[in-house]
Chain A
């Protein structure tokens, strides 16, 4: 339970999609002129992230990662298909978005009317693919946590676009220097908001990210050890043969 809470708040505030890793900036900048459209797109992002992240988690777990195919039988234990993850993730996302669009249109026309226009846009929103790729890179351990990660990073994105849309509605009445109007000032405001969000960094004191350097180095040393072992074994075998020959 605690880890769910931690992941939830961490993905909303500390690793905020927009302010910490700049995902989904294109639609963030393009669709944030009015609060009402921003809310529609934000809701659609939460929805699609909540569907695609757990789905891609299953794909990663049972198809892509090193040794994931072991459920097919022990002879598949050495397969590592992770180089296929980009193409599988994006295909999952594109088809899921289409599917969600069809299902929502059929069963809830009112929801479709509010989300509908944004759904096709979302297939190419980097926040969605980014959610799945970060899920893979951070090695989220369980399906429940993956779902949690999808929902909470969606909420983080939603908050960000809601805030910038509200600010942009107000800034229309301010006297911004002409060359900065529109895009320029939006960038700078987002930067300032990002600095604000940085202060959430101290909220959780747990270890933020596992020390990757150490892992790779241990992997290396293990490899080196194995190689050494093999060499030693070979040497032993050779000397053994020599003994026999003598």
Chain B
């Protein structure tokens, strides 16, 4: 890490674990849960948020001294909305099938609390380079959880990863299915995402006792 000072590196690394936007800051849950039934959708969503948050943080940080604080929410919304339109149009042009699966959830990046949360908490008070790192770090922290949830839901729910069967063929009973293993259809339905995230929080907090909440 010759390029980054230790402080800068922490901006990226902290949100990955101990200050994770989803499990610790409780931001941006909506989209994290709704689209994680497949790994591919999770990855695309994570990349979209990475783009929007990275660029958005820089833009807001550059404008931080000229935005009147009374109308900052609207300014932020317009910046995010513009970036999201770019993402949406790119997805529609190059990954049409996927943009159908993600449907309205691409649009909902606009109201993803991570974005507004980082704008408010970081970009409005820091320079562009730091804000960029902070944006990337938080988007990665978000992406990590998304990918973990997507991985388990797709693997246990349909026995595939990125749509490729990895546990054998459930109909021909090959691979793991020969031993009597069955796909867990429960993992596909939406509420399973909540339970998977709940378990991730459980694991993380039992490994790091400092994160446990007061009752």
List B contacts of A137 (CB < 8 A): 103-104
B192 cross-chain contacts in A, Cβ below 8 A: 191
**B121 on interface, CB distance cutoff 8 Å:** no
Does the CB pair A20–B108 fall under 8 Å? no
Say yes or no: A176 contacts B215, CB within 8 Å: yes
Interface residue tally on A, bucketed by range: 35 or more
Contact of B30 among A24, A181, A195 (CB under 8 A): A24
In the bound complex, CA of A19 to CA of B33 (Å): 10
A103 at the interface (CB under 8 A from B): no
Max count, chain B CB within 10 A of own CB: residue among A84, A183, A193, A198: A183
- Interface positions, chain A 88-103, Cβ under 8 Å from B, are 89-91, 94-95
Q: Is A182 an interface residue (CB 8 A)?
A: yes
- Contacting residue for B78 out of A91, A120, A185, CB 8 A: A91
A125 to B116 alpha-carbon distance, docked (Å): 11
Contacts of B165 in A (CB 8 A): none
Q: Mark B198-215, 1 if CB is under 8 A from A, else 0.
A: 110111111001001111
The answer on a CB contact under 8 Å between A190 and B194 is yes
Ordered nearest first, which 6 A-B pairs have the shortest CB separation?
A194-B191, A182-B213, A191-B194, A187-B198, A179-B205, A25-B29
Q: What are 15 pairs between A and B in contact, CB < 8 Å?
A: A20-B190, A24-B30, A86-B107, A91-B78, A124-B73, A126-B108, A129-B108, A179-B205, A179-B206, A180-B205, A188-B195, A191-B191, A191-B194, A191-B195, A198-B191
